[in-house]
């Protein structure tokens, strides 16, 4: 591994450091653009609690964050913009090589869109689980290919 980039939130930083303990002197960069989506008034609530507050949301389901704007929170498009900036900085710092990115589920959904494009990303209705590993290959032009999705996670993996 040539570089590691993590959300600057404690849970991701701790996870990145645990992983890097097995990878010598790989440098770790913290990037606030990899933070989880800001959920505003929904912060800390389960989907059931959110739907209880606003039953209309039950029609869309938990897997459609881009369809909702949490009161006082961030729109999914904002997360996509942040993820795109983070990918650009990573590619500038490490145009070739292996990069570990430690982030959150909302950002992973955004990364699917950034690396695979809107149409392809829409085919995945995935619930990312803690400690799942998703692997991408990114070519020189910035186009991504999905190699694995939630690898090693309870939800299973998708090899391509």
* Domains located in the chain, CATH noted: 3-36+76-151 (3.40.50.1240), 38-73 (no CATH)
pLDDT digits (tens, 9 = 90+) for 15-58: 999 999 998 899 999 999 999 999 999 999 988 898 899 888 88
Looking at the predicted structure, is the pLDDT value of residue 153 above 60?
no
Residue 121 has pLDDT above 90, yes or no: no
SS3 content of the chain, % helix, strand, coil (to 5): 40, 15, 45
Question: What are the distances in angstroms from CA 80 to CA 6, 33, 151?
Answer: 16, 10, 23
Residues 66-75 have pLDDT tens digits of 677 889 999 9
* 54 CB-near residues (< 8 Å, 6+ apart): none
Average pLDDT in the chain: 87
What is the reported pLDDT for 160? 36
Q: With a cut of 50, say whether residue 133 has pLDDT above it.
A: yes
Q: Is the pLDDT of residue 159 over 80?
A: no
What pLDDT does residue 61 have? 64
Name the helix (H) or strand (E) containing 43. Answer: none
pLDDT value at residue 107:
95
Please name the helix (run of DSSP H) or strand (run of DSSP E) that holds residue 16, with its range, or none: helix 10-20
Mean local confidence (pLDDT), 90-104: 92
Provide, rounded to the nearest whole percent, the portion of the chain with pLDDT above 70: 91
Residue 24 pLDDT: 82
Q: Is 57 exposed, middle or buried (0-12, 13-18, 19+ CB in 10 A)?
A: middle
pTM score, whole prediction: 0.85
Q: What pLDDT is attached to residue 157? A: 41
Q: What pLDDT was estimated at residue 38?
A: 93
Largest CA distance in the chain: 50
């Amino acid at each position: 591994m040539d570089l590691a980039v993590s959300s600057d939130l404690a849970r991701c930083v701790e996870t990145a450091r645990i992983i890097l303990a097995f990878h010598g002197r790989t440098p770790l960069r913290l990037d606030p653009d990899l933070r989880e989506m800001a959920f505003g008034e929904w912060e800390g609530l389960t989907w059931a609690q959110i739907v209880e507050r606003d039953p209309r949301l039950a029609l869309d389901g938990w897997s459609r964050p881009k369809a909702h704007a949490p009161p006082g929170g961030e729109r999914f498009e904002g997360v996509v913009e942040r993820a795109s900036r983070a990918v650009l900085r990573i590619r500038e710092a490490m145009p070739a090589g292996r990069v570990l990115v430690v982030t959150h589920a909302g950002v992973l959904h955004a990364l699917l869109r950034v690396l695979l494009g809107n149409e392809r990303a829409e085919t995945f209705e995935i619930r990312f689980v803690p400690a799942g590993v998703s692997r991408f290959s990114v070519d020189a032009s910035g186009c991504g290919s999905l190699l694995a999705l939630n690898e090693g996670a309870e939800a299973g993996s998708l090899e391509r």
